[in-house]
Structure 1
Amino acid sequence: MSRAYLAFTAKGEALAHRLAEALPGGVSRCGGDVTLKGWTAEHFAQDEALIFVGAVGIAVRAIAPHCRSKAADPAVVVVDEGGNFAVPLLSGHLGGANALARALAKACGAVPVITTATDVNGLFAVDLWAKAQNCAVLEPERIKHVSGALLAGQTVRYWSPWPVAGEAPAGVEKTDAPEAADFALTLTPQGGALHLVPRIGVLGVGCRRGTTAQQLEEAFAAFCAASGLSPAAVCATASIDLKKDEPGLAAFCKAHGWPITFYPADELRAVPGQFTPSAFVAGVTGVDNVCERSAVKASGGTLLLPKTAGGGVTLALAVRPFAPDWRTEQ
């Protein structure tokens, strides 16, 4: 987690440095070229956590113009300059502000002030659980329906094609009918449930020389539309080393924040499994299938969506092993 600390006094700055020793991050102090407005705009956009060492009111006014949604906002925590209290203001669960407040409090002997309703009442927090299981939350506005039902003493139902290890939390039970679920673990969301998408997909890519990022985007959109795959399921890409110098492929992956792994043909030929062969691809690259084999090799898992081709682009998806459990801490 990238963190940035802002203090307003010498005492606050000293505390910020002390906290940064335990939880590393850059420390700034308001004054001169460092303004509250400018610092907040810069770090709200680029960091995962902002820690204000000072008054809550100052932090609230500073972040107010930048708040977008619980799925996009960074964690924001305020620690008073006396080191008495650590108060999470924003993104308590998805952004990790509650956990950060507890860690900051431990570092300086403060009291973490947690106010989220599920935490206060000792109930299951579906967004916190999603974060711990490395899942994307597709419809953050639906979190309140799950949490609201639990707070009202009702039972919520979940659906998952993967077994979830451990005992389900109080008020949570499994359903075998996806359409009856209040929340669901899935790679192919549909219906009105809150969908939690495991980030376990590796996209295997093959393309003609000179394929542009826009062509790859269009192929990927068509691939997802045809299969029902949520783009949020993809966490990495893979291809043959002949594509290392393709600027379109590099730009496509960078736009999504996906790392890409390249393999030589002999390593791809050695990947075990049944793949869709192409004599043409074998003649050009030295291996009968690039996208399926590279996806499987990079994932260490299994092929889920076989090769599709169009517009000079081939795509396939393999998934990493996934074993969810009921922990809400990573």
Structure 2
Amino acid sequence: MTRWLKTLIATSSVALLAACGGDGGDDHPGTIAEVATERNLSALVAAADKAGLVDELSAEDAALTVFAPTDAAFDALATTLGFADAGAMVAALDAETLGRILAYHVLPARRTAAELASGDEPTLYEFEGAPATLDVATADGVTLGDEVLTRARVTTADVAARNGVVHVIDKVLVPPGVLDLVQMARLNPAFSTLVAAVAAAGLDDDLAGTGPFTVFAPTDDAFSALLTRTGLSAEQLLASPGLADTLLYHVVAGDVRAADVLALPNPAFVDTLLAGNDLELRNDTLTLVDDDVDSPDATIAATDVIARNGVIHVITQVLIPAPN
């Protein structure tokens, strides 16, 4: 993660721009660092400065692609995570975390928008011994899927630089293994009811702890289906005395990835954090069968959303434990 850092930004880059005479134009573009500064991507500048990139600012021999989030994108990430704004978030996060997030925005080769193809693109963020990838789609402009199953759109493409190209995007890309389970859930709008339920049950600190945990995470649609079946309102659900037990019934101790699930006997019975209650897991159909015989099975719709302290698998129904 060192070579690409030489191309990124520090707050002193404005002074470097003046000293080098770069103008960032298409005829005589500056480095990626200078171009980003000229584009007033101040939150990206601050994050790169905090990550310790001042001495590695301009690698003239590099040929990189940088997906550069706007200031509004950084502010949106910050407020969703509970910070006042992007400045407060950059001040709070450590340099290593910021460096990992930034590395996830960089491809190790120059790719114009026309040269990007749909599929997985390896980034310069190394995770578990391999480059973490972005899910590129080009059918309707260029969009990028990240670890929290959300997408960023390229809003300004092909900003030329001497040592690569910059594509401005409307969202900060979230890499695997950097944020905790609660933060990852907050960053996917499909989990808004789950996030509210975790907060109402007072489980935020537990699920943000060391872990590791495996969370079978119901979507908002799953909670809507539950409310329809039970006749409860969302407010009644969040105030229900059994809410914490229901949520703990969706959590397994350990980091259980999709490959681990497929390797289990069929069916398998997995202990949850709700003492005395296990889940029946059928790995041939990727479904979970809970204790409520009147509830539909929950299908595992997406797997391996990897957090710093565990993993999320997305499910289509809320699981209901048997009464004690």
Alignment TM-score, normalising by the size of structure 1: 0.28
State the TM-score, normalizing by the size of structure 2.
0.28
Higher RCO (CA < 8 A, seq sep 6+): 2
